[in-house]
Amino acid sequence: MTASLTGSMASWVPLMPLLLVAIGGFALLVVDALSDEHAELATLSSVVLFCAGALAAVLATGKGLVPPPSGVAPYLAVGQMSQFWNATICCGAGLSALLAGGYLHEHALERGEFYALIVFSAFGAMVLAAATDLLSIFIGLETMSLGVYSMVAYRRGSPRAAEGGLKYFLLGSFAAAVLLFGSALIYGATGHTDLAGIGQSVRDGHANLRLLILGMLMLLSGLTFKVSAVPFHMWTPDAYEGAVTPATTFMSVVVKTAAFAVLLRVILTCFSDELSASLRTGWPGMLAPMAAATMILGNFAAARQANVKRMLAYSSIAHAGYILVGVVTLYSGDEQVRQTAVSGVMFYLLAYTVSNVLAFGSLIALGSYAKEAVSYEDLAGAGRRHPLAALPFVLGVLSLMGFPPTAGFLGKWYVFSAAIASGNDLLWLVIVGVLSSVVGAYYYLRVIVYLFMKSPEPGAAIAVPMRSGYVVLALVLSGYFVLKMGVTPAPYIDLALSAASKLG
């Protein structure tokens, strides 16, 4: 075993992003134990994550990408696609760490372990996104989730946080159990735990069909729980609302990205044969209605919220629905359409990451100690009083709304155009998607309405923006990418396409 792990030094390069994050996590723990100043932990953790992300982004182009040590190969894929996911995850996690640096300090919640939790969770997410074996899927999933559970319940004194954390933990464990049960059934049906082996056996028709179908449904249910698709979305609003806002940001972008990454990989490697990818008999028959329900329910529920954080929670459910449209498109037999769909989902998740960070970050920026911005009323007139703090929020909601020329528009355009290119079967799903996004436009517009067009009630508490270099940096970075991906999308599209062309 050790002999196979020691290849040439160069063969470790594709693993560097993962290792960097893992080592960075341990370093954080050591630094936290030895020092009593916390603020530099935010710097350290975000630097680690951004370095790993930048390295992964370079590797995602295919430059310097050599085969990894042979012992890694059956468990983790570290090709272009994994590197793209690594880059997206590190980007989301690094931005969340920056937000935490401002938020925790302002609200007197600063404790060192939060940053270690972010970094280790990000590590779990990267493992999950790269996993090519049912075992590594589970390990990655649990590493990621344990960190997130504790992040949700981080504000120890708050009953809301405890409620959200407990709900997420119980339901999450249940979902993990379902996933594990599904994995066991799939192993029973095919005799394999590695995804490639499962795929081979499914294509050859050697698998025990009943066990396989049940196992597949349970596996997919476990994964769609993590992306908070309807009907597995119940935990989302409570967990999102109870968590401290940087943790919410982390959950909404990193966990979703990793879960979609593994969902794509499982579907592409195991269940892309004609029978299981058929709209009538296979998983698309389950995911297509789920996507429609997720878009409709997510958007309508978000429109009813009075709490902005909760609105963003439901809106993240709706976004999971749009991305699921891209996943369902993988039913297509046309290789080119499939590639468009995969790269569309990748582009969407990257765009969604920066847009959502922008929205949550602006929400953080608009509040300060004991004057946190939570409801729409808190935002009333904030754009008039503090236009600079409100401007990123406008950009963020416009991007989430899918308004050109922002990253969010390109993402929707990409995913929906892939679905339409696959034929007329998904046209209904796209129409449901765009019409429900009009509902989305209503509640996102409401943010702008409150920021700029309303005045606070006389005597009502008003949110006061905080001052923090960390938050400003996070907003500037994500705002830059929201516009950059919207105005000159070509490099990002090409990166996603080239990463999507090789399933590694």
Partner 1 sequence: MSQHLISLLLALPLFAALVVLFTPRQMVGFIRGITVLAMLAELVASFGLLDGHYETAAMQFPERHVLVPTYGITYSVGVDGISLWLVLLTTFITPLATYASWTHIGTKVKEYAICLLMLEGAMLGAFFALDLFIFYVFWELMLVPMVLIIGIWGGVQRIYAAVKFFLFTMVGSVLMLVAILYLVAQYKAQTGHYSFELAELKLLLLPLKAQLWLFAAFALAFAIKVPMFPFHTWLPDAHVQAPTGGSVILAAVLLKLGTYGFLRFAMPLFPSGSHRMGPFIAGLAVTGIIYGAYCAWQQQDVKKLVAYSSVSHLGFVMLGIYSITSHGLSGSILQMVNHGISTGALFLLVGVIYERRHTRNLDEFGGLAKVMPAYAAVFVIVTMSSVGLPTTNGFIGEFMILAGAFMSAHLGISGPLCAFLGATGVILAAVYMLHAVLKMFWGPITKPENEGLPDLTRREGIALAPLLLLIFYIGLFPGRMLDSMKASVDTFASEYTNKLAQGDRHPTTRDILVVGPQTAALPQPASPLARLDAAPRKPAVRAVADVVAGGAP
In the DSSP assignment, the letter for residue 424 is G
Stretch that binds partner 1, among 127-135, 155-163, 193-201, 491-499 (CB under 8 A): 491-499
- Binding residue for partner 1, selected from 1, 3, 34, 490, defined by CB under 8 A: 490
Stretch that binds partner 1, among 214-222, 254-262, 357-365, 442-450 (CB under 8 A): 442-450
Q: Least Å distance between CB 241 and partner 1? A: 25
d(C-alpha 97, C-alpha 103), whole Å: 10
370 binds partner 1 (CB under 8 A): no
Q: Is the alpha carbon torsion for 34, 35, 38, 40 positive or negative?
A: negative
**Closer residue to partner 1, CB minimum distance, 283 or 492:** 492
**Closer residue to partner 1, CB minimum distance, 228 or 272:** 272
Q: Least Å distance between CB 354 and partner 1? A: 19
Tokens of 234: 């119940």
Cβ neighbours, 10 Å, residue 467: 12
Rg (CA), the chain: 21
Stretch that binds partner 1, among 208-216, 245-253, 321-329, 434-442 (CB under 8 A): 434-442
- Binding residue for partner 1, selected from 195, 251, 430, 472, defined by CB under 8 A: 430
416 binds partner 1 (CB under 8 A): yes
Query: Given the structure tokens 């990418």, which residue do they identify?
Result: 481
Tokens of 465: 């923006």
Region class of 191: left (phi > 0), else alpha (psi between -120 and 50), else beta: left
How far, CA to CA in Å, does 389 sit from each of 250, 384, 418, 419? 21, 10, 36, 37
Element (H, E) at 402: none
- Binding residue for partner 1, selected from 307, 405, 484, 501, defined by CB under 8 A: 405
d(C-alpha 150, C-alpha 36), whole Å: 22
Cβ neighbours, 10 Å, residue 454: 17
501 binds partner 1 (CB under 8 A): no
Interactions with partner 1, residue window 323-352 (CB under 8 A): 334
388 binds partner 1 (CB under 8 A): no
Stretch that binds partner 1, among 47-55, 180-188, 306-314, 440-448 (CB under 8 A): 440-448
Stretch that binds partner 1, among 40-48, 98-106, 268-276, 398-406 (CB under 8 A): 398-406
Stretch that binds partner 1, among 152-160, 248-256, 282-290, 399-407 (CB under 8 A): 399-407
**Closer residue to partner 1, CB minimum distance, 137 or 390:** 390
181 binds partner 1 (CB under 8 A): no
Chain-centroid distance of CA 308 in Å reads 19
434 binds partner 1 (CB under 8 A): yes
**Closer residue to partner 1, CB minimum distance, 104 or 432:** 432
Query: Please, what's the b/e burial string for 213-238 (b: 16 or more CB within 10 A of its CB; e: otherwise)?
Result: bbbbebbbbbbbbbbbbbebbebbbb
What is the DSSP code string of 19-40? HHHHHHHHHHHHHHHH-S--HH
Q: What are the percentages of helix, strand and coil residues in the chain, rounded to 5?
A: 75, 0, 20
27 binds partner 1 (CB under 8 A): no
| Residues at the contact surface with partner 1, assessed by CB under 8 A | 334, 384, 387, 398, 403-405, 409, 413, 416-417, 420-421, 427, 430-431, 434-435, 437-438, 441-442, 445, 448-449, 452-454, 488-490, 493-494, 497
